[in-house]
């Protein structure tokens, strides 16, 4: 047997001939499976043996039997072929389906978009959505994002955009909490959006708008809207909840509205996207669906 060649991989046709012969236990059966002659299969296996520098089979009139080295090599070959089969299945799935990647603020994704995503899937079963929740600005040049759902459009001055909705906040709490003491004396739940907090009305603004003396700041403060909503549902205090983001909780009775007024946020929510996005299958339909979802609220 010649010294093994490590500079290059064996021919795939030779590896396939080996795997088929090992699986069928016969050069003749392998030849039938591969639409070759038995001599051609035998030659390819010998070339593979020469390339590897080992003997893969012991040959007899009854067929071929793997050597110990041949059995070891077959395990790797079958693993590699299985990987190739999985890759082919993935390609086949992607050929029949298309995916849109949507980046969105976490609360907007979980409380507004995700509850309605079943409607999209029912309307367009051939189009997949990949939803990525993030507070960070989206770099469309270096990411797979097709759309970003954001609060205001300051971070995306050069991109295409459509306005979705401008939300409002209103005081809400759990039913059990409302049935207890005067709600204005209950702990208040605050949301801290950092630099964006200036665009989100807080309790001071609400009490002032209602013609009431703002109470001392007390209660719980969260930096995530979804956590603040959960805290209100669990009865930990009264929340100035965003109307669009607590729609399910209001509909189910998990939260109840307490009083007027409802104060608008200072900026609307947008869907932004680069021009290339609308060339993707389903992108125009998804944008229209988002706008319809925004109008429905």
pLDDT for 123 equals: 92
Cα–Cα distance measured from residue 111 to residue 242, given in angstroms and rounded to the nearest whole number? 10
CB 220 within 8 A of CB 187: yes
Secondary structure of residue 278 in the 3-state scheme: helix
Six-digit token string for 261: 């007024």
Cβ neighbours around 43 below 10 Å, total: 14
124 phi, psi to nearest 5 deg: -130, 70
Cα–Cα distance measured from residue 172 to residue 178, given in angstroms and rounded to the nearest whole number? 9
User: What is the per-residue pLDDT across 205-237, written as a single tens digit (0 to 9) for each?
Assistant: 999 998 888 877 678 999 999 999 999 999 999
Cα–Cα distance measured from residue 218 to residue 181, given in angstroms and rounded to the nearest whole number? 17
Nearest Cα to Cα of residue 234 among 267, 187, 166: 187
User: What is the per-residue pLDDT across 132-151, written as a single tens digit (0 to 9) for each?
Assistant: 999 999 988 878 889 999 99
User: What is the per-residue pLDDT across 103-133, written as a single tens digit (0 to 9) for each?
Assistant: 999 999 999 999 999 999 999 988 889 999 9
Q: DSSP character for 54?
A: S
Confidence class of residue 186 from pLDDT cuts 50, 70 and 90? confident
pLDDT for 96 equals: 40
What global pTM score does this model have?
Answer: 0.66
Cα–Cα distance measured from residue 128 to residue 283, given in angstroms and rounded to the nearest whole number? 11
Cα–Cα distance measured from residue 122 to residue 126, given in angstroms and rounded to the nearest whole number? 9
Q: DSSP character for 255?
A: S
Q: DSSP character for 146?
A: S
Cα–Cα distance measured from residue 124 to residue 141, given in angstroms and rounded to the nearest whole number? 27
pLDDT for 126 equals: 85
Task: Please give the residue that has the higher pLDDT: either 90 or 255.
Answer: 255
């Amino acid at each position: 047997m010649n010294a093994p060649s490590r500079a290059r991989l064996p021919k795939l046709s030779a590896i396939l001939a080996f795997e088929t012969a090992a699986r069928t236990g016969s050069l003749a059966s392998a030849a039938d499976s591969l639409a070759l002659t038995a001599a051609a299969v035998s030659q390819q296996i010998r070339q593979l043996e020469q390339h590897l520098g080992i003997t893969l089979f012991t040959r007899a009139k009854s067929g071929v039997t793997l050597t110990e080295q041949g059995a070891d090599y077959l395990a790797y070959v079958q693993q590699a072929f299985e990987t190739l089969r999985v890759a082919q299945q993935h390609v086949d799935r992607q050929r029949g389906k298309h995916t849109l990647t949507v980046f969105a603020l976490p609360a907007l994704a979980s409380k507004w978009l995700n509850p309605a995503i079943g409607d999209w899937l029912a309307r367009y079963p051939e189009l997949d959505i990949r939803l990525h929740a993030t507070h960070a600005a989206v770099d469309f040049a270096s990411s797979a994002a097709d759309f970003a759902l954001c609060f205001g459009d300051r971070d995306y001055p050069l991109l295409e955009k459509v306005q979705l909705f401008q939300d409002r906040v209103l005081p809400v709490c759990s039913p059990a909490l409302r049935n207890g003491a005067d709600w204005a004396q209950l702990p208040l739940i605050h949301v801290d959006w950092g630099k964006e907090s200036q665009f989100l009305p807080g309790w001071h603004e609400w009490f002032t708008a209602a013609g009431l003396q703002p109470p001392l700041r007390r209660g719980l403060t969260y930096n995530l809207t979804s956590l603040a909503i959960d805290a209100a549902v669990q009865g930990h205090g009264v929340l100035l909840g965003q109307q669009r983001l607590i729609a399910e909780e209001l509909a189910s009775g998990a939260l109840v509205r307490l009083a007027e007024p409802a104060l608008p946020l200072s900026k609307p929510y947008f869907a932004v996207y680069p021009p290339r996005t609308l060339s993707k299958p389903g992108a125009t339909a998804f944008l229209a669906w988002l706008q319809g979802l925004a109008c429905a609220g």
